[in-house]
Amino acid sequence: MSDKLVIGGRQIDSRLFMGTGKFADYRLIPEVIRASKAQVVTVALRRVDFGTPEENMLKYLPPDIILMPNTSGARNAAEAIRIARIAREAGCGNWVKIEIVSDQKYLMPDNFETVKAIEVLVKEGFIVLPYMSPDLMAAKRMAEAGAAAIMPLGAPIGTNRGLKTRELIQILISEIDLPIIVDAGIGRPSEAAEAMEIGAAAVLVNTAVATADNPVLMAEAFGLAVEAGRKAYLSGPGSTQRFAEASSPLTGFLRNEESEK
C-alpha cells in the first residue's frame, strides 16, 4: 500500500520529526536520529554557531536528512522573517519552521504574527511549516497564506503532558487540506501513537527524547510508536463501544419482513 507523505515537493519516509534542543551532547544527536529513523530535523538557528566547527550543531547532522531551521526566539513576524532569511543565506536550505513566541511564561505561539510571517516567506520561496495553537480559523489563514503543513501543539512546549488539544487537532485534521503535524507537548511514545491514530500526518518530538535517561532508546521507541499509530490509522480501527456487543444479537428473532414480500 502506498502511503507517502509529501511536503514541499519532498517525499518523506519517516513520520517522526525530531528536534535537537536540550541534549547533553551534540554527539548524541546523530545516534538519536539514526535510532528514530527521523528524516526531518529541526534546529534553532539561535543555537547554531557557524564560526566554530565543534560547536556548529549542523555538522553533527547526517547528510541525508531534511534540515528544517526554526525561528525560536522570534517575538514577532519581523524577527521570524529575518531569522529565516539568515538561515537560508547561511546555507540551511529553504525549509523553515516558524516559531513565534511573545509569551515566555507558557511559550504559546502567536498565531497572528505567524500568519504575517508565512505570507512574506512563502512569497520568497520558503517551504513554511508554522508551529501554532490549534485554532481552525488561524489554520485556514495559514493554509491560504501558503503554509506547506500545519504544526499545532499537543500541549504547551516542553511540558510532556501529551495530546491535551486532541479535540482541536482532530478538527484541523478533518478540515484542513494540508499535513497536520503535532508539534510540542508529546511526552510518551503512546501519545505519539495516539496522535497518529487520529490521523496526524506526523509528530515532532524533542524534550521527551532529550530528557529521557536513555535518549537513543527513547528515540527508537518514538519511531516505532509513530509507525504503529500510522498503521492503525490506515487500517481503519473499529469504532469503540461503551458496552460489550453480544455475538448473538438480542433482536435476531425479528424476521426481515421486506424479504418476505
Partner 1 sequence: MTFYDEILRLKDTDYSAVFERVTPSQIDSILAKTELQPLDFLALLSPKASFALEQIAQSAHRLTLQHFGHTILLYTPLYLSNYCVNQCLYCGFNATNDIHRRKLTLPEVELEAKAIAQTGLQHLLILTGESRQHSPVSYIKECVSVLRKYFSSISIEIYPLSTEEYAELIDAGVDGLTIYQEVYDERIYDQLHPKGPKRDYRFRLEAPERAGQARIRAINIGALLGLGEWRSEVFLAGMHLAYLQQKFPEIEISISFPRMRPQLGDYRPEFHVSDRDLVQSILACRLFMPRAGITISTRESAELRDNLIRLGVTKMSAGSSTSIGGHTDAKDSIGQFEISDKRSVDEMRQTIAKLGYKPVLKDWHDLSWGGKKDNETVSIS
Q: Please state the φ and ψ torsions of residue 138, each to the nearest 5 degrees.
A: -65, -40
213 binds partner 1 (CB under 8 A): no
Distance CA(93)–CA(247), nearest Å, equals: 57
73 binds partner 1 (CB under 8 A): yes
The single residue of 4, 37, 59, 97 carrying the catalytic annotation is 97
| Binding-site string for partner 1 from residue 82 to residue 121, where x marks contact by CB under 8 A and - marks none | xx-xx--xx----------xxxxx-x--------x---x-
**Residue 243 CB: number of other CB atoms within 10 A?**
5
Q: Restricting to residues 36-65, name those near partner 1 by CB under 8 A.
A: 45-49, 52, 55
214 binds partner 1 (CB under 8 A): no
C-alpha grid cell for residue 261? 414480500
* Helix, strand, or coil (residue 109): strand
| Binding-site string for partner 1 from residue 139 to residue 168, where x marks contact by CB under 8 A and - marks none | -------------------xxx--------
By C-beta, is 12 or 77 nearer to partner 1? 77
C-alpha Rg value of the chain to the nearest Å: 21
Is 97 an annotated catalytic residue?
yes
Burial class (CB in 10 A: 0-12, 13-18, 19+), 80: buried
CB 82 within 8 A of CB 121: no
**Binding interface with partner 1 (CB under 8 A):** 21-26, 45-49, 52, 55, 73, 75, 77-79, 81-83, 85-86, 89-90, 101-105, 107, 116, 120, 158-160, 207, 210-211
Residues serving a catalytic function are: 97
